[in-house]
Amino acid sequence: MKGIIFNLVEEAVTARHGEDAWDQVLDRAGVTGAYTSLELYPDEELRALVASGAELLDTDPGELTRWLGHEALLGLAERYPHFFAPHASTRPFLLTLNDVIHPEVRKLHVNADPPDFGFDEGEGDALLLTYASRRRLCDLAVGMIDGAATHFRETSRLTHDVCMKDGAEACVLTVSFAPAHA
């Protein structure tokens, strides 16, 4: 996994819980925490950070991963505003993941292995997404979708209908968006 994700995780944890909490997460995970954005790090290291963070914060690892995804997406929006600027809302932004954003990620970060998304716009306002990744980090993806909604000042309603963690080849998510109330 690219170091930028680790950088965003560190920023989220330290912003919410402080540098001491991040140091404790690193100690419990048994990792150094010296991440550079362009380097590639073992996926197991992120899993160790999530496990130790969940234990330290007394929360469910999936819930923590979703929160980290939410915060990471907001961090990506700050770092790469050109990916977000052309879109007025979450839905059209998500529809660019495979065709615009992930190819650019691959250009910027050699050896990047972003997930694949499938989309079925169907009828009504619901968007059917499939998520496939060898990492099976669907909780991170769900958090990132929610973070995108926050970025675009919307709320998301998402159901996780089928999950790779239950043996499926891909996750199936149904999501809809509405303007956030002030």
Q: How many domains does the chain have?
A: 2
More confident residue, 71 or 106: 71
Answer yes or no: do 175 and 94 share one domain: yes
Answer yes or no: do 92 and 174 share one domain: yes
- Report the alpha-carbon distance of residue 84 to residue 28 in Å, rounded: 36
More confident residue, 102 or 56: 56
Which CATH number does the domain housing residue 151 bear?
3.90.1520.10
Maximum Cα–Cα distance for the chain, whole Å?
Answer: 49
Answer yes or no: do 94 and 142 share one domain: yes
Nearest to 45 by CA among 74, 102, 3: 3
Task: Determine, yes or no, domain membership for 8.
Answer: yes
Confidence of residue 101 (pLDDT cuts 50, 70, 90): low
Task: Determine, yes or no, domain membership for 78.
Answer: no
- Half-sphere exposure of 109 toward its Cβ, with a 13 Å CA cutoff? 17
Answer yes or no: do 98 and 151 share one domain: yes
Residues 30 and 44 sit within 8 Å (Cβ to Cβ): no
Answer yes or no: do 92 and 62 share one domain: no
Inform me whether the pLDDT recorded for 50 exceeds 60: yes
